[in-house]
Amino acid sequence: MNEKKNTSEILFMDAHTANKAAEKESASEILFIESDADQRLSPKIRPNEAIFIGAHADDIEIGAWSAAYKLIASKWKVFFIVMTTDSGACERLSEAVDAAKLLSKDIEVFFLKETDGLLSCNRQTVSKLRSLISSQKINARVVFCHSKADSHNDHRAVNEIAISAFRESVIIEYPVINSLIKSDFKPNIFSSVTEEIMKSQNLALSRHKSQTSRISTDKIYKYREESSQLGKKIYVDKFKATLQAGYSENQLALLMDAIDDIPTHKLLGRIIRDGLVAISGGTIFRKNRTIDHSITSCGKSVSSLLRAHMQIIVGMKEVIEVPASDPNVHEFAEESSILIIDGAISNSFAREYYDHFVGLNYKIDYEIPNYQNQCVVDLSLKIPKKIYPKYGVDDFGRKKIIEDIGILTFMKNPMNTDKWLIGCMGVHAIGTMGCFRALMEDSLASLISSRLDEALAAGKSGIQVLVGYTPDGAPRFLSRSWRKI
């Protein structure tokens, strides 16, 4: 017990103790209340643990509440550490504990009582944090802290302290919207925020009565709404994972299972985090255009949507757009993960490279002259089968597309098997758009993920599926069209 009392500048208290302390102690006095650390489970049977560090008493509630909520729901042991206090110390400490207890009555909250506004990363602060972790026998390998993309000096200091104090750990940076430098924050973990979580967060923030005038829930909601997905309003919290040398892959996997729950990100983010090259087709000349296309300039439309989606939802470093006619396109394909937009009719890369990759089950076919009788050919059958879009006639007697067909491909890039190839290739532009929209639909993205996992587990390099899409409808996977590559 003496060892703990010597750690005199570290504080732990529950809500009742904090309230009593507020009555008896001045803000300048140092307080330490014992926890039940000695009675915790042994490392062999203890639950997964995560530490949340905030510079100030309300920072965790503002920037990382949803993650803490989900981890506790997944039976993780969660610890809150507040690094600084100000002139209203006792009141703010009590508010922080009251808010944290809304997550779990068993949650433990610690205070290092550094001076608000003067926090810095040095030997003293790093040592003090490590002493706390050691004295309380905390065994966490996952640590949430402020993003370094922040204009507040205390927030940046917390980031440096956490990285210095917790080696061999997964460091998860969270944003505080009041001071976030958006252009520098590059998230790679995305977590949906339900109404239940938002209500819980609002209640937690309301506990910080001394900060009512400074906390803006409107800013938090607006930042979440910026992650709207192709016009569909969703609420997303964004985090950035930094993997220290020697980090636990198992802990990272368990963490991602608990909080990284947006299907599109699970599908795309896990395989192409290092950037993507979108190879788009061009306009082709037809002497007699007999079909009314309600979607034009498909490559441009898809790549624009893709760039917005990747950078806001998926958190890609970069989406580079390269026309298939670029003389160096093959070099991009040999060095990067690639997205092929459009099929062989308008995309010369699909025609000259993709169509000749070994093991493919589907490709786009057509007849010359005038690119007639476009279709998908199923090469997986003993006798290849041609599959045509559905057509009708519009009010002017022109042939129109009722439902187009697209080939959606996920596979290891044959030109560089350390990278990936995604194909969104329609018979017409509408089919290409349908493939892309299938990636954005949660239920379809989840199905693609599970099918891809099955194929990779079976030693295959990927999957293909046919997508049916109408201009005014939703994408669908055609019956019995799944194929392993």
DSSP 209-240: GGGTTT--HHHHHHHHHTT-BTTB---EEEEE
Domain with CATH 3.40.50.10320 in the chain: 2-260
Q: How far apart are CA 361 and CA 380, in angstroms?
A: 5
Element (H, E) at 438: helix 429-440
3-state secondary structure of 68: helix
76-85, 126-135, 303-312 — which is least confidently predicted? 303-312
Span 211-231, average pLDDT: 73
| pLDDT-based confidence at residue 318 (cuts at 50, 70, 90) | low
Instruction: Give percent of the chain above pLDDT 70.
Output: 80
Q: Is the peptide bond before 187 cis (omega within 30 degrees of 0)?
A: no
- Structural contact between residues 64 and 80, judged by C-beta atoms closer than 8 angstroms: no
With bands split at pLDDT 50, 70 and 90, how would you rate the model's confidence at 34? Answer: very low
Interior angle at CA 33, CA 30 and CA 34, nearest 5: 140
Residue type at 452? L
Q: Assess contact for 236 and 262: CB atoms under 8 A.
A: yes
Kindly report, residue by residue over 444-474, the tens digit of the pLDDT.
988 999 999 999 999 999 999 999 999 788 8
Tell me what pLDDT residue 171 has. 96
Q: Are 235 and 198 in contact (CB under 8 A)?
A: yes
> CATH for 2-260?
3.40.50.10320
- Angle, helices 89-100 vs 15-24, to 10°: value is 170
CB of 354 closer than 8 Å to CB of 279? no
Cα gap 392→397, rounded to integer Å? 9
Give the range among 86-100, 151-165, 188-202, 353-367 with minimum mean pLDDT: 86-100
Which has the minimum average pLDDT: 42-51, 300-309, 425-434? 300-309
In the prediction, which pLDDT does 306 show?
Answer: 55
Q: Around Cβ 472, how many Cβ atoms within 10 Å?
A: 6
Contact in structure between 61 and 212 (CB atoms under 8 Å)? no
Q: What is the pLDDT of residue 143?
A: 97
Q: How confident is the model at residue 304 (pLDDT cuts 50, 70, 90)?
A: low
Q: What is the mean pLDDT of the chain?
A: 82
Q: Pairing mode, if any, of strands 476-477 and 462-469? A: antiparallel
Say which residue, 7 or 463, is predicted with more confidence: 463
Claim: this prediction has a pTM higher than 0.85 = no
What residues contact 88, with CB distance under 8 A and at least 6 apart?
27, 210
Closest among 78, 92, 262 to 187, alpha carbons compared: 262
Residue 272's DSSP bridge partners are: none
Q: Report residue 434 as tokens.
A: 């349908």
Q: Is it true that the peptide bond before 43 is cis, omega within 30 degrees of 0?
A: no
At 214, the pLDDT band (50, 70, 90 cuts) reads confident
pLDDT category of residue 74 using cuts at 50, 70 and 90: very high
